[in-house]
Amino acid sequence: MAPYYAQFDAHYAASKFILTVREKEPWLRSCETHWRLMAEWLDNFPNFKRVQEFASASTYGTVGFSRERFSFAYDLHVRNVSDYFKARSNDFLLLDICGGEGWEKLCAFLGVAVPDLPFPHVNEWMHLWQQAADDVARLVPEGETLILVDEQGFGKDFARGRRCLPFLEREGGYWGAPPDGATAVSEFERLRSEGGANFIAFGWPAFWWLKHYDELNAHLRSRFNCVAENPRIIVFDLRATNNYLTAE
């Protein structure tokens, strides 16, 4: 939500405003998932966490997710924005993308031609996250131990039923990126022997690891089976031989 539309309107004369809406119940479910994942990620960035908590409290009246507060804020925001622009139909557009509205309504409002492209409407991050979680559920048996390289972004719900080890790891917690490829390999082998890891998975936010740490990439690909490699996740089975297999 953007609560400062009136200030923007006063500062930027002759601007146009677009309010995107959707059914409230799916929006609430999406917010709940987003806030849970974000809360875990923000623990690693205390300065940014304070900014986010201030913004959340200012907008929703709560730091964490609250169905009651978010529902109230949603209804109030839509009502207030609609009332503010009710006499200025040329400056304001209410757009329900999830309900099927797209280029035609948007381009007519902006006075531009409709592009010959599909309308972008997918929350790409959440879509990839769910597909990657499904990949792990399919490839890694329940109860197994998994080294998860995800830049601490996927959260505790990503690999349910599996024990996830952060990488690098110290005393069970995330210890940041390795200083060099040799350290990456040695720490990987330590988690394999001491931590009992039988799989390692790289989420797309951490794909750069395999390019940056050449030794780790070569070590994994020469010794273990790559059982999934797609735009969202790369998984190595540490129990298997090095017969290469790509899973779409």
Mean pLDDT in residue range 135-164: 89
pLDDT given for residue 91 in this prediction: 95
| Residue 52 CA from chain centroid, whole number | 16
- What is the tens place of the pLDDT at every residue in 1-19? 678 899 999 999 889 999 9
pLDDT given for residue 143 in this prediction: 94
In whole angstroms, give the CA distance from residue 109 to residue 94. 10
* Helix or strand (DSSP H, E) at 49: helix 46-60
Residue extents of the structural domains in the chain: 5-110, 124-237
Question: Does pTM top 0.75 for this prediction?
Answer: no
In whole angstroms, give the CA distance from residue 54 to residue 51. 5
Range scoring the smallest mean pLDDT among 68-82, 116-130, 173-187 = 116-130
Instruction: Record the tokens describing residue 65, joined without a space.
Output: 């997710």
* CB of 97 closer than 8 Å to CB of 20: yes
Q: What are the φ and ψ backbone dihedral angles of 145, each rounded to 5 degrees?
A: -100, 130
pLDDT given for residue 245 in this prediction: 46
pLDDT given for residue 121 in this prediction: 63
- What is the tens place of the pLDDT at every residue in 153-191? 787 778 889 999 989 888 878 888 889 999 999 999 999
Q: How confident is the model at residue 242 (pLDDT cuts 50, 70, 90)?
A: low
